Amino acid sequence: MVPEFGLDVPLAVAVWLVPQGSAVIEGDRVVQLVAGGVTIDLEAPVTGRLAACLVEEDEPVATGTVLAEFVAEPEMRGGS
C-alpha cells in the first residue's frame, strides 16, 4: 500500500524491481515510485512471493493504493 509521504506532487509507479511470481524476503525492495524528481523504494512487507502486481508501470497512484498482493511463506530462506 502506498504510505503517506507528505508530498504535494503526483505519485506514479516507476518500475517493478521484482517480477510477479518471484520470491521475496521481507524488506526486499520490490517497486519504485516517482514523485516529481524524487524516487521512493517500497519494500516487501512479508517473506514469500509477489503474487500479483496490481498497478502498471507509469500508472499514477494515491496514498492508500494497494500496489501488490503477497503470499507469505515464512519458512522461505534467501537465495531463490
Q: What is the pLDDT of residues 9-46, one digit of tens each?
A: 899 999 999 999 999 999 999 999 999 889 999 999 99
Q: What is the CATH number of domain 11-72?
A: 2.40.50.100
Q: What is the pLDDT of residues 42-63, one digit of tens each?
A: 999 999 999 999 999 999 999 9
Q: Residue holding cell 534467501?
A: 78
d(CA 62, CA 69): 17
Decide if 61 contacts 14 (C-beta within 8 A).
no
Kindly list the domain boundaries of the chain, sorted by start residue: 11-72
